[in-house]
Amino acid sequence: MLKIRPNDPCPCGSGRKHKKCCGAEPEGRGRFSLLSQKRGRYAKSPEEIAGMRRSGRFNAELMEYLRPLIRPGLSTEDINGIVHEYTLRHGHIPAPLNYRGFPKSVCTSLNDVVCHGIPSATEVIKDGDILNVDITSIVAGFHGDMNETFYIGTNISATARLVTETAREALKIGLRAVKPGRTLYDVAAAIQDYVEARGCSVVREFTGHGIGRGFHEDPQVPHYRTPESRKVLLEPGMTFTIEPMVNAGHWRTRVLADGWTAVTEDGSLSAQFEHTVLVTEAGVEVLTALPGSPPF
């Protein structure tokens, strides 16, 4: 997921810092302004699409390997070690490691952590927790990106199930909304309507993103309505992530002193699911799903 920092260049293309441009506008009026899209601006070449398929396939295989290993008693550092070793053993690169200073090979976000949780040997997962594991791999220069939220053990609260299943279904709804000729606004609106009807909220401070040779590319992909997202037309050849972050309480977040870990401001639970997708002539291809398997 992509976070826009106040001193980053504003993505509207003004050349000003975000905090001096769209970030200074009233809430809901361009907080994540998107560049207007020229026709074909974001489309990948056939060779690039082939590379994205390879990276997405590896990410799906890594998640398949990881799923049965997630259990109470593991530390999040244990999970980091599993992901790191598997990735290197197959000759690939864990994209999060040293990305903008991130110290680990995977993000592990526990309970009220929205995203970018840093694995730790002292953070042990226990029965009743929910844990998001976000893996991104670089395969021959191309990025694949996906995440899932896991139930830990069997003693899962009703609120944990609500927020997790809402996030899971929100991604499915977002995937179904991807069709050539539609816009990112259509995807965001479908997700937001579903999540809010379930009594949960969609995080505003973090978004999905374009992806390819770069970890985070244009366009940004909000999961809630913004006027600017109407400008981004979905065309065959585009690759991006859909990754709605869903909170059981309010959508506001805060980042801890480590500079990475984002938590819900009100302490409520948070869940997320993510896939990397390709817009096709017929609709959408989920690049981070194993062939012949449903996305979940």
Cα separation, 87 vs 217, in Å, equals 23
Per residue of the chain (296 residues), give pLDDT as tens: 656 567 765 443 445 564 665 444 333 333 333 333 445 689 999 999 999 999 999 999 999 999 999 999 999 999 999 999 999 999 999 999 999 999 999 999 999 999 999 999 999 999 999 999 999 999 999 999 999 999 999 999 999 999 999 999 999 999 999 999 999 999 999 999 999 999 999 999 999 999 999 999 999 999 999 999 999 999 999 999 999 999 999 999 999 999 999 999 999 999 999 999 999 999 999 999 998 777 66
CB count within 10 Å of CB 15 equals 8
Q: Which residues contact 166 (CB under 8 A, 6 or more apart)?
A: 194, 195, 198, 200, 246, 271
Yes or no: say if 80 and 95 are a contact pair by the CB < 8 Å rule. Answer: no
- Global confidence as pTM: 0.86
CB count within 10 Å of CB 123 equals 18
pLDDT given for residue 268 in this prediction: 98
* Domain assignments of the chain as residue spans, ordered by start: 34-286
CATH topology of domain 34-286: Creatine Amidinohydrolase (3.90.230)
Yes or no: say if 251 and 31 are a contact pair by the CB < 8 Å rule. Answer: no
Residue located via tokens 């059981």: 248
pLDDT given for residue 33 in this prediction: 34
Cα separation, 271 vs 113, in Å, equals 8
C-alpha closest to that of 168 among 154, 186, 182, 151: 151
DSSP 103: -
Q: What angle do CA 254, 260, 262 make, to 5 degrees?
A: 30
Range 76-111 burial, b when 16+ CB lie within 10 A, else e: bbbbbbbbbebbeeeebbbbbbeeeebebbbbbbbb
C-alpha closest to that of 246 among 144, 149, 135, 151: 149
